[in-house]
Amino acid sequence: MGAFVDFITNNILLIVVAFLSGAMLLWPALRRSAGGPSISANEATQLINREHAVLLDVREQDEFDRGHVPQAKHVPLEKLAADPSLAGKKDKPVILMCATGARSAKAAIALRKAGYEKVYNLDGGLNGWTTAGLPTVKSAA
């Protein structure tokens, strides 16, 4: 037991660095899972076409105006958090998106708390959508 205590004492800095490195590696996965399941852009299009999923863009108005998915409904995160019913019927799948997926994960948590069960986060957000080669449109100026 004394050898273990000596090891900890002599290598405390190494142990702290190892712990912090592990935490930084796990953080993105933990944040992603907190918002529920993520789906790719291609899976999202299938869900929209087959199950008439609602696609909600939770970015700010200026971001939405610069480019968005054609069939996306714009509901900023603050409005959706204040009134989850803006997502529509609870029995329909809801796909949430933002620029990268961080804000939409927060929106997913709010919808789940409000009783929505089929809530998905678009993996990579609008960046993931455009990387998949799918279309976007700009709002009229």
Res 30: pLDDT: 59
47: CB partners within 8 A, 6+ apart: 39, 53, 93, 95, 120
Domain count of the chain?
A: 2
Residue 136 maps to a domain = no
**Which of the following is catalytic: 98, 107, 110, 126?**
98
Beta-sheet pairing, 73-74 with 94-97: unpaired
Find residue 119's DSSP bridge partners.
94
Res 11: pLDDT: 87
Full domain range(s) for residue 20: 2-32
pLDDT in tens, 22-73: 888 876 665 555 567 899 999 999 999 999 999 999 999 999 999 999 999 9
Residues 40, 81 within the same domain: yes
d(CA 56, CA 104): 9
Residues 10, 74 within the same domain: no
Sign of CA dihedral 3, 7, 10, 16: negative
Residues 8, 73 within the same domain: no
98 is catalytic: yes
Q: How many CB atoms lie within 10 A of CB 63?
A: 17
Residue 137 maps to a domain = no
pTM of the model: 0.76
Res 141: pLDDT: 60
Where residue 49 sits, what CATH number does that domain have?
3.40.250.10
Residue 139 maps to a domain = no
Residue 112 maps to a domain = yes
Res 101: pLDDT: 83
